[in-house]
Structure 1
């Protein structure tokens, strides 16, 4: 295991154990010394992993006591942060599948060009994907990405992880996103592609995603069945 990735793997393993209840809320994680022995690594690597746990709301470091486990049972779908659905799927630990309904290269329309700050003639990838969680179709993700930033896309990439493709294969540096959350009437498309279970409204999360040079390259509408997700943020004051 590469040293640069080891603390991330330790973070993922410990956060998974916290979510599974192996370490219960208000209990203490093993000491740094015990974690060093368990993972056969240095104290510096363990401290990096613990810092990530703290930053993501899994633990509270208590001086002289250790790392107190926080209650993460309600942290099901974070609004803050910028993660791919595949990364989120790994943290949710549920049976999730992705179905690609559309992958098409088209020109930006009148309504879309302001979202992506581009000309109406600009070529844009349009992707429509449905997320099925534990047998129910509850999320409709609609993405538009500028071809000038993303020259190639395949259905295989879209069904797996677009962000992994962008970062690892195209070398793009995805930096930040502006998000807007509203509750809106379900559309005919929502009713056709989702199992709305009688709900007439959906939760709509709009994302405007920027690269490191501040260029916007992606606009996303993530449409959720009302009863399936509670949006929770964890905020830590930085001094």
Structure 2
């Protein structure tokens, strides 16, 4: 085994043991320069160790900030309709939001018109939020909401679950949603999610309906793949080969 390969494994084992012991109280791992000096190796060797740990899901990196211990991912189940707050609440994390935009907009968007989201004045709620768990950005939401069914949305409501507000305060009966899932690069969302522009995101297009088939919501949510995982239970239909 070459010397640099041995050192790479040595650094990896060192960090992994520190994670298991809970050494990194603020979750931040030593910098590349610090580790390079400590083990008398190049930063390239340190990066090899960090990359291996990241691929195993033990750490994640933030551009210009460093490497951090990867906490348990938020889990979204795809066999039920739940909000971000409901998903994260199972992990007992501290949920918060950064409000980028919240306003009623006049629009002649044909898609929103066809879904029936506009009120009599051709207005629709446009809400953009960054969702956090334990002060770490997890998801970027960009959604439109029925202009007539939702009379007002306060800042306090936007810090919590919109679904809870719709159901408990407005007495709206949310029934089902159509979801389309694909992947994209972070690009314009990178700044808000504190990741590089080249990092992939999972994107969900969600159209949500009430019990009477009235459309309530249409919008995209972009999830960090290093912070969020998805779970689906698939049932085999009778008669499938």
Give the TM-score, by structure 2 length.
0.60
> Relative to structure 1, is the Cα distance of residues 82 and 202 closer, same or farther in structure 2, using a 3 angstrom cutoff?
same
Query: Who is 2:79 aligned against?
Result: 80
Q: What is the distance in 1 between the residues matched to 2:118 and 2:136? A: 38
Query: Who is 2:210 aligned against?
Result: 211
- For residues 38-95 of structure 1, the C-alpha deviation after alignment (integer angstroms, 9 at most, x for no partner) is xxxxxxxxxxxxxxxxxxxxxxxxxxxxxxxxxxx99822123111222222112233
Q: What is the distance in 2 between the residues matched to 1:74 and 1:166? A: 27
Deviation, 1:125, is: 0.7
Give the root-mean-square deviation of aligned CA atoms.
Answer: 2.8
Query: Who is 2:127 aligned against?
Result: 127
For structure 1, which segment, 110-119 or 155-164, has the greater mean C-alpha deviation from structure 2 after superposition? 110-119
Secondary structure, counterpart of 1:76 in structure 2: strand
Q: Where does 1:20-169 land on structure 2 (aligned, <5 Å)?
A: 76-110=75-109, 112-113=111-112, 116-118=115-117, 122-169=122-169
- For residues 135-188 of structure 1, the C-alpha deviation after alignment (integer angstroms, 9 at most, x for no partner) is 421210112101112122112111112112211121111100000001013342
Give the TM-score, by structure 1 length.
0.61
Bigger Cα Rg: 2
Q: What is the distance in 2 between the residues matched to 1:213 and 1:193? A: 36
Q: What is the distance in 2 between the residues matched to 1:75 and 1:223? A: 14
Runs (4+) of structure 1 moved beyond 6 Å? none
Unaligned runs of 5+ in 2: 1-71
| Contact in 1 for aligned 2:205/2:218 (Cα 8 Å) | yes
Deviation, 1:233, is: 1.0
Aligned residues between the structures: 166
Secondary structure, counterpart of 1:179 in structure 2: strand
| Contact in 2 for aligned 1:75/1:232 (Cα 8 Å) | no
- For residues 175-226 of structure 1, the C-alpha deviation after alignment (integer angstroms, 9 at most, x for no partner) is 00000001013342x0231112464332111110001011112112110123
Unaligned runs of 5+ in 1: 1-72
